[in-house]
Amino acid sequence: MTDRIKSVGVVGAGQMGAGIAHVAALAGFTVKLHDVADDRIRSGMERIEKSLGRQLASEKISESDKADALARISGTTSTKDLGQLDLVIEAATEDETVKRKAFREICPHLKPEALLATNTSSISITRLAAATDRPERFMGIHFMNPVPVMKLVELVRGIATEEDTFETAKAFVASLDKTITVSEDFPAFIVNRILLPMINEAIYTLYEGVGSVTSIDTAMKLGANHPMGPLQLADFIGLDTCLSIMQVLYDGLADSKYRPCPLLVKYVEAGWLGRKAGRGFYDYRGEEPVPTR
């Protein structure tokens, strides 16, 4: 553990928030998992327990590691309970309005020296920092999904982020046994600036009839040695998240090469958001995923 940070708050008990709470608790930090409703916290805790169970089954952790990690996490629906924590990480939906609202509710309760971070995968850190009462103690700590498995964390400073904040965040991430990459504060940072246009291009390839879902994913898995095809990966990320990131790139860089594919827009409008919704580029409602095009 780092000297400065002993307790961590995670705002949002979804897939990313639960993953961050999991790795922080496993590394020895006291964790408060916050969400707006008890059922969301329950579902986040169930996700953490299952994920720790998978690590136990593959002998990455011991039974006592699992028990200790779970004992370090408690849930809350009150932002007041985040008041005495050393670091609070926002992991709400990839929507700037939602994130700004979360900061408005959190900031009045934080102790003056607390650090605040966002797990945004694409939105300007400088702009989000300006919506808080502590831009100098604010930065981007972007974990990859699924958090317990993926080794990388992108650290992103806003224009006002102080060096001490950056160094503390670096020490915190290193204590989680993650590898750090540092990105400048430009739309979508490094990973998604490269990854999402590739996924969007795969969707254009489908939209224009160049290949089917199966042929595109097979081509990239076997032809480019990707562990997962781009359309399968899009379903895993969530098509709504893919669309949000492409929109941030398109709006932020004003370059037509980032225009979201109309087919991606159509799938999101249909509510076919990928694995979490049961349907995306594949239909997940049966025994095996079946391509939807």
Q: Which CATH class is domain 7-183?
A: alpha beta
Active site residue 142: yes
Question: Who has greater pLDDT, 77 or 2?
Answer: 77
Active site residue 225: no
Q: Which of 22, 154, 183, 244 is catalytic?
A: 154
Residue 1 reports pLDDT greater than 80: no
CB 172 within 8 A of CB 87: yes
One fold for 7-183 and 192-284: no
State the average pLDDT over residues 121-148: 97
Q: State the amino acid at position 110 in one-letter form.
A: L
Task: Provide the sign of the torsion angle of the four alpha carbons 12, 16, 20, 21, taken in this order.
Answer: positive
Q: Running DSSP on this structure, what letter comes out for residue 161?
A: -
Strands 138-143 and 152-157: antiparallel
Residue 171 reports pLDDT greater than 80: yes
* Cα distance between residue 62 and residue 71, in whole Å: 14
45: nearest Cα among 31, 56, 57: 31
Residue 268 reports pLDDT greater than 70: yes
Average predicted confidence (pLDDT) for the chain? 96
Q: Which CATH class is domain 192-284?
A: mainly alpha
CB 280 within 8 A of CB 268: no
Token pair of 220 as six digits: 């990239």
* Cα distance between residue 18 and residue 16, in whole Å: 6
For position 19, what pLDDT does the model report?
A: 98
Active site residue 49: no
Per-residue pLDDT tens over the stretch 79-119? 999 999 999 999 999 999 999 999 999 999 999 999 999 99
Per-residue pLDDT tens over the stretch 179-237? 999 999 999 999 999 999 999 999 999 999 999 999 999 999 999 999 999 999 999 99
pTM of the entire predicted model:
0.92
Q: Which of 121, 122, 124, 183 is catalytic?
A: 121
Domain ranges of the chain: 7-183, 192-284
Active site residue 109: no
Q: Grade residue 2 by pLDDT with cuts at 50, 70 and 90.
A: low
Q: Which of 7, 192, 200, 244 is catalytic?
A: 192
Q: Which of 34, 90, 142, 183 is catalytic?
A: 142
Q: Grade residue 3 by pLDDT with cuts at 50, 70 and 90.
A: confident
* Alpha-carbon separation of residue 254 from 247, 248, 259 (angstroms): 10, 10, 9
